[in-house]
Structure 1
């Protein structure tokens, strides 16, 4: 029980974490992407078309190799990324963003800007 009277409360904007949870659902529904997917695609977009080693993405997201593999497999199946072994070092797997992935990320970015602006404004 609290001393606060619910009738006298002012509307506070939702917390950032709650807003991110809601955004996650909206991105899934509108673009078929999770927040993790968007972070991966965004990291690849920042690489400017250069291949990014999976180990770098794994460290960036602080995910297990198994989890990262599942995320990348899904993105590859959707045609959003390409995964290839590095020439000269077949042990290293590198990832690049496809044009389809770049377009899907751009659409998701637009949705995220609109939704977060609306949700976080007082």
Structure 2
């Protein structure tokens, strides 16, 4: 399965890219909570408020294990919360697992118990 990955160094560049209707919409967005210039939470809220973007799957990834961060991103409409592992191989496994999920069905029954993605 081939995927095109576009990386942005800050939240403002991401939202500017998404706002340009000439760019195709992504299937999934991975948001770091601690991005410069515009945080992942700010980007998440803006995406969910935009009618054109609101149905894009959003995976939050962060070093934070804070219950508040997890709760706030769940309430704001993220599809999954990934706690960044310390090991690169684990990160690759999580990202691969995320790419294999059929989010059309997961978002219909999204619940807080399945919100946090763990490495197994």
TM over 0.5: no
The TM-score normalised by the length of structure 2 is 0.25
The TM-score normalised by the length of structure 1 is 0.25
Answer with 1 or 2: which has the greater Rg: 1
- Which has the larger share of helix? 1
- Structure of higher RCO (CA pairs closer than 8 Å, 6+ residues apart): 1
